[in-house]
């Protein structure tokens, strides 16, 4: 790890100004990717702005038909939250399947979606539920938030503050985990809610994506059989030592069916 200056602001405004004051500053949420990368000397931020002291970034609440999760809420907190379980059990299940207990007790929803790892679980939930990412500057619909490999719509100086989820009638998540890292080789989140049926896939491509053909089929008949024959093209999917692109394409269908089957 290289040297850096450490800041622990007490407010969002303070964090934003610290971020603006440096070209090479990085926000530190749970640090589950950033710190490991820094230890390997693959990242060398000049400043680390630790968000853990900002109370307004934490917490889980329901506002009407919307679930609000603060950006600094850990995966473990989401997984065990009765509020989340009551609102959308699939979301709690997804959070409970991220990494391992150590990761779940440090990693945060804001950190995960700001990093936008192609194999992370949360992007599937955000896209699959039609969530809204709230920052210190604006609100970004999930559909326009995930841009590409580790790439989001966040601009310089923008800090994720919370994620807002609309209440689904039903939702399900099925994940085929990488046997080593337990990241998603393919994770599929399906929901039926205010904006219709949504099917979102993580792990398979460079960035989480929706499968409109499956969404249309499920809109007419929300059952695994409705999508049994629908495949996604493998050309743009990821390929690595754990799973080739066509295996991933196949798994998208299998996981989508299992997600539908498990939806509640």
Partner 1 sequence: MPDSGIGASVTRKEDKRFLTGRGRYTDDLNRPGQAIAYFLRSPVAHAVIKSIDTSAAEAAPGVVAVFTGKDMETDGVGSLPCGWVVKDKHGEPHKAPPHFPLVRDKVRYVGDHVAMVIAETLAQAKDAAELIEVDYDEQPPVIDAAGAMQGALLHDEAPSNLCYDWELGDEAAVDDALSKAAHVVKLDIVNNRLIPNAIEPRAAIAEFSPAHDSYELFSTSQNPHLLKLILCAFVLGIPETKLRVIAPDVGGGFGSKIYCYAEETACLWASKRLNGRPIKWTAERSESFLADAHGRDHLSSITLGVDADNKFTALKVLTTANLGAYLSNFATCIPTYLYATLLAGQYITPVIYCNVKAVFTSTAPVDAYRGAGRPEATYVVERIVEVAARQLGVDPAELRRKNFIQPDQFPYQTPVALTYDVGDYEPALDQALKMIDYSGFPQRRAESEARGKLRGIGFSAYIEACGIAPSAVVGALGAGVGLWESAQVRMKATGSVMVMTGSHAHGQGHETTFSQVVSDYLGIPYEHVEIVHGDTGQVPMAMGTYGSRSLAVGGSAIIKACDKIIEKGRKIAAHMLEADVGDVEFKDGNYTVSGTDRSKSIGEVAFAAYVPHDYPEGVEPGLDETAFYDPLNFTYPAGVHIAEVEIDPDTGVTTIVDWVAVDDFGKVINPMIVEGQVHGGIAQGVGQALLENCAYDENGQLMTGSYMDYTMPRADNLPSFKVDMTESPCTHNPLGVKGCGEAGAIAAPAALMNAITDALGQEIDMPASTEKVWRVCQSRRMAAE
Classify 176 as helix, strand or coil: strand
Q: Which of 42, 64, 156, 180 binds partner 1 (CB under 8 A)?
A: 180
What whole-number distance in Å separates Cα of residue 137 and Cα of residue 159?
8
Q: How far is the CB of 58 from partner 1 (least distance, A)?
A: 29
- What is the closest distance, in whole angstroms, from the C-beta atom of residue 46 to partner 1 in the complex? 16
Q: Of 22, 62, 231, 247, which lies in the binding site for partner 1, with binding defined by CB under 8 A?
A: 247
- Binding partner 1 (rule: CB under 8 A), the pick from 20, 144, 169, 181 is 181
Member of 125, 251, 256, 260 binding partner 1 (CB under 8 A): 251
CB 24 to partner 1: min, Å: 18
Q: Outline where 24-159 has alpha helix (H).
A: 34-39, 75-80, 82-87, 89-96, 101-106, 109-115, 122-129
Question: Quick one: 97 or 141, whose CB is closer to partner 1?
Answer: 97
Stretch of 11-19, 68-76, 147-155, 172-180 lying at the interface with partner 1 (CB under 8 A): 172-180
Q: Please report whether residue 40 would count as binding partner 1 according to CB under 8 A.
A: yes
Q: Which of 23, 41, 63, 220 binds partner 1 (CB under 8 A)?
A: 41
Q: Closest separation between CB of residue 74 and partner 1, Å?
A: 21
Shortest separation between residue 13's beta carbon and partner 1, angstroms: 33
Which residue, among 198, 188, 181, 190, has the nearest Cα to 250 in the 3D structure?
188
Long-range pairs for 54-62: beta carbons < 8 A, 24 or more residues apart: 54/9, 54/10, 54/11, 54/12, 54/15, 56/11, 56/12, 56/161, 57/12, 57/110, 57/161, 57/162, 60/84, 62/87
Can residue 42 be called a binding residue for partner 1 (CB under 8 A)? no
Binds partner 1 (CB under 8 A): choice among 37, 223, 234, 244: 244
259 makes contact with partner 1 (CB under 8 A): no
Q: Which of helix, strand or coil describes residue 164? A: strand
Two structure tokens written together for 45:
């931020």
Distances (CA, A) of 168 to 86, 90, 204: 11, 10, 24
**17/26 Cα distance (integer angstroms):** 13
Contact 122, 114 (CB under 8 A): no
**Contact residues for partner 1 (CB under 8 A)?**
1-2, 40-41, 176, 179-181, 183, 241-244, 247, 250-251, 254
């Amino acid at each position: 790890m290289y040297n850096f200056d450490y800041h622990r602001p007490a407010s969002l405004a303070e964090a934003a100004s610290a971020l603006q004051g440096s070209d090479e500053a990085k926000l530190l949420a749970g640090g589950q990717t950033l710190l490991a990368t820094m230890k390997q000397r693959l990242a060398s931020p000049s400043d680390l702005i630790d968000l853990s002291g900002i109370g307004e970034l934490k917490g889980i609440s329901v506002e009407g038909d919307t679930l609000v999760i603060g950006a600094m809420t850990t995966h473990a907190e989401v997984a065990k939250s009765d509020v989340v379980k009551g609102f959308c059990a699939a979301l709690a299940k997804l959070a409970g399947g991220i990494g391992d207990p150590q990761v779940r007790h440090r990693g945060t929803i804001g950190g995960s979606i700001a990093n936008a790892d192609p194999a992370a679980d949360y992007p599937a939930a955000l896209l699959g539920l039609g969530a809204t990412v709230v920052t210190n500057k604006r609100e970004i619909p999930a559909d326009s938030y995930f841009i590409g490999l580790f790439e989001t719509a966040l601009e310089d100086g923008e800090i994720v503050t919370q994620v807002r989820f609309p209440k689904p009638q039903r939702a399900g998540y099925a994940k085929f985990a990488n046997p080593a890292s337990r990241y998603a080789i393919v994770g599929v989140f399906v929901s039926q809610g205010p904006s219709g049926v949504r099917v979102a896939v993580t792990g398979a491509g460079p960035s989480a994506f929706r499968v409109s053909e499956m969404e249309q089929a499920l809109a007419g008949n929300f059952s695994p059989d409705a999508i049994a024959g629908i495949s996604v093209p493998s050309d743009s999917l990821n390929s690595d030592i754990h799973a080739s692109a066509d295996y991933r394409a196949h798994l998208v269908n299998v996981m989508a069916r299992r997600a539908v089957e498990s939806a509640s």
